[in-house]
Structure formats: C-alpha cells, structure tokens
A and B are shown apart, each in its own frame.
Chain A
Amino acid sequence: MSFSSIDRRWIFLFILLGVAIPLIIPIGFKLEVTSDVQKVYDLIQNVEEDKLALISFDYDPASKPELHPMGYAIIKHAIEKNHIIVCTALWPMGSQMADDIYHNLKAEMPELEYGKNFINLGYKAGGMVTIQAMGKDMRKVYPTDVSGKDINEYEILNCVKSLKSFAYVVSLSSGTPGLKDWIMIAKDKYGVPVLGGATAVSTPGFKPYLNDSNQLNGLLGGLKNAAEYEGLVKRKGTATAGMDAQSVAHLIIIGFILLGNIAFFMNYKKVKD
C-alpha cells in the first residue's frame, strides 16, 4: 500500500490522539505574546478608572471554545482596571454567553457585581443598523437591560448617551454581524477605539484593518491569541490548557502535508519516467 492511498481514517485517529494526549498530559510549550495581542492589552491597561467599556458578544455556542476564553480574560482585565462593563449582543445567543462569563467569573472575582461594574443589555437584531442607532442614541436602542429593568435605574449608566460615551468597544465576533460592523460604524464613523476577538477562520479577513489608520486597535485571533491574553492577565483558562494540543495537532498536520507532497512527487516522477 502506498502512502498516497492511505485510509484517511488513520489521519483522523492521529489527530485525535495528538489532541487528546496533551490535554491529559500537558507538555508546557512556551507562548510568545504577539504585537496585535499586546495592543489589545495596552489599550485596556491605559484607559483610566471608572471608564465605560462596551463588550459585544457576537457569537453563539458553536464558537465558544475560541471566543469564550477571550471574553473571560478581557473582562477580568477590565474589571481589575476598574472599568465598567456594558455587554451587548448582535447574535441572539450572545446575551447568554455574556451571562455565562459573568456567573463563572463572579466566583473568582467578588468585586464583579451586576449593576455596579457589569451590565448586560442583551441582544438586538439589526447588525450595522443597530450600531448606527447606538451611535446616535444608546438609550433608545436599549431602554432596558436583559432582565427588562429600566436602564435609568442603574446609576452607572447615567452618563451613557451614545457610542461616544464608551472608552473602547470590544467585539467578540464569529461572523456577520460582528467585528466588521463595529469597525465600520464605531471606529470609522464615530471614532471610538475598537478591539476585536475573532475566530481563527475569520482572523485573516480582519488583519488589513490593523493598519496605520488604526481602523482596528488590536486583535485576538483564535485560540492561540486567547491563550496569550490569558498569560498577560495571569488567568490560565481553557485556551492555555488547549495550546499544547493545538501545537501537537499542527505538527501532525505539517507532517502529513510533507509526507503527502513527497508521495505525490515520487509518484509524479514515476509516471513521468
């Protein structure tokens, strides 16, 4: 049997073992912090206390393994810097994602308190149009929080008028509507700094926005960048735990690509001869 005719189920098995074993027996590969991740950290780090941060949960459980760790790390960092977190969602289940992070992080951070430094405004349909409306009048778009309570009852939201009331916007995005809409409206129209957390699949599409015009002020792309951010905020979560498995799986895939190419060229030479 030649390599080119190998049953692909062997490849599945190798990948499964390559991911499963390092999860049970961690190796401890080192991670370097990349510049795009450092930019996210620096921007949040340099925002003054008591400023408002808008975090938009634009994903659903399908992207949870990649984007949830970013949400934990960013919210932890912002709370440590005494920022006030206001959560929104352009995806219907994003609101539950925000709630999930709040309840799990509350156990670690007693200072995190709903209504005091964290509020979930919930989901709004409309994508780009909704963001445009938020840029004009935030209170009209979100008259209540996710539980239906009038936002006028929350003292911390008294100063919220529009998107410009926020020191920065973070969009944890797995598609459309999501980060691109925030760049186009919040940054390019209203000038509010926008940070992004994106799935690895969509990350290359956002790289051009990390340009000299600073359309995007920083980007976390995929599980690796999430793990880097966990390292920066000293909270080892599921992203850090998964990085050994990610690295081993990549090595296996690289190995198979090399073997596949060698087999192809050997076969090609034989046919040519």
Chain B
Amino acid sequence: MIEFWTSFGIWLGALSTLAIWSFLYKDNPFYKVAEQIFVGISAAYWLVYTIYNILIPNLFSKLIADPVANWIYFIPGILGLMMILRIIPKFEKLSFYPLSLLIGTTAGISLLRFLKSDVLTQTTATMLNPFAATSLTVTIGQIIIIIGTITGLVYFYFSKKHEGFIGANARVGIIFLMVSFGASFGYTVMARISLLIGRLQFIFGDWLHLIK
C-alpha cells in the first residue's frame, strides 16, 4: 500500500510539473488547474502548519497547562487577536497597535546588529593596506576593493553635481556597479537552471528511471 502511495505521489508530482511547464508554450487549462491546486494546497498547508507548529506549542498549550504561571503569554495572544481584527472594518484600527509594536521592536533589534555587521565591520574590512599582502593577486584584489568602494560611494553622493573630479569618480563607480549587477544576474541564471536541473532529475530519475 505504501508503494502505491509513493508511486501515486511521484506521478502526481511529475504530471503537475509538466502541467506548470506547459505555460511556457502558452496559457492552457492544465496550467490553470495545476496553478490553482498549488495555491490552494500551499495556503492550507501553511495554515495548518502555523496552528500546529507555532500557535499550539508556543501559546495555546502553555496557557491551557498553567494559565497563572504563564500569564505573560496572554499579552502576545491578545496582540495576535488585535492583529486579526483587521478583517473587521469596524475594529480595523485596533490592529495598528500590535503592528506598531512589531515594527518598533524589529527596528530596534535590527538597528544595532545591522550597524555593527553591515556598517562598522564592513568599513573596517575595507580599511586595508594592500601592499602588506603576501601575493600580487591579493594586492591587486585589495586595490580593486578600495577603488570600487570609494568610487561606488561617490556615485551615490548626490549633494554635488557629477562633473569634473566627482563625475570621473562616479563614472568609475558605475562600472563597478554594472559588474556587480552582471555577477548577480549570472548567479540568478545559475540558480534558475539549478531548479530546472532539480526537476529534470526528478522526472528522469524518480519518474522515468532513465538516470540513477
């Protein structure tokens, strides 16, 4: 019986993949069906997952087991309810309070961490002495990092018109930015092809048994 359901799952997965891919030819009912099933199942899955893996263990079970000792959990519980009230127009404004608390707390926690990791440590890491490096390749690489960082920052300096010395630096900066965008695009292509490979490995391997 288990084997039947495994095979059924593989067939369902393979046919759904083909149905989704059929959109590349043109929009068609197979694609629409697969798309709607995917959206419906995803929404239902996440709802059930959130209830059983987040709400029950982190909130309901604690409040049911010992509400007096765990009284503090009533606060996030009430804030959560206030957030849901957004769906009732009359009480919509009540959702602003938990939302503002969430945004304020997140900003407060993140600010220090981002300041340290993304500003201070990154700046320190750019303060290099390229000529202290052990090899010529590293020296060249570090010089490129310094030039790229400075000219990149100059490009985003808008308080002075980009002409003369500033303009020349900004033009160098934009070359570094273009190289960076190109690298990001290359990685994105690689990622999308990797996903296609993953699907084809499933189709040729698990479904058609053409590859191991």
Contact = CB atoms under 8 A, between A and B. Distances in A.
Main secondary structure on chain B at its contact with chain A?
A: helix
A197 B30 CA distance: 36
B191 A201 contact: yes
B36 interface: no
Contacts of A123: 53
A65 interface: yes
Interface string B95-130: 000000000000001100110110001101110100
Given A24-B210, A215-B121, A242 B109 contact: no
Interface stretch (B65-73, B167-175, B192-200): B192-200
A183 B117 CA distance: 8
A23 B194 contact: no
B187 interface: yes
Contacts of A183: 117
A224 B186 CA distance: 12
Interface stretch (A49-57, A156-164, A244-252): A244-252
Contacts of A203: 187
Given A204-B183, A222-B191, A19 B200 contact: yes
A188 B197 contact: no
A188 B117 contact: yes
B58 interface: yes
A185 B199 CA distance: 35
B190 A250 contact: yes
Given A183-B117, A222-B194, A242 B201 contact: yes
Interface string A42-68: 000000000000000000001011100
A170 to B, nearest CB: 18
Given A200-B194, A201-B191, A208-B122, A128 B200 contact: no
B204 A23 contact: yes
B197 A200 contact: no
Contacts of A200: 187-188, 190-191, 194
The 4 closest A-B pairs by CB, nearest first: A65-B198, A211-B125, A200-B191, A242-B197
Interface of B: 24-25, 46, 49-50, 53-54, 58, 109-110, 113-114, 116-117, 121-122, 124-126, 128, 180, 183-184, 187-191, 193-201, 204, 210-211
28 contacts: A15-B193, A16-B196, A62-B195, A65-B194, A65-B199, A66-B191, A66-B194, A66-B198, A92-B53, A125-B54, A128-B110, A132-B109, A184-B113, A184-B117, A188-B113, A189-B113, A203-B187, A211-B126, A212-B125, A212-B128, A213-B124, A223-B194, A238-B198, A242-B194, A245-B197, A249-B196, A250-B193, A253-B189
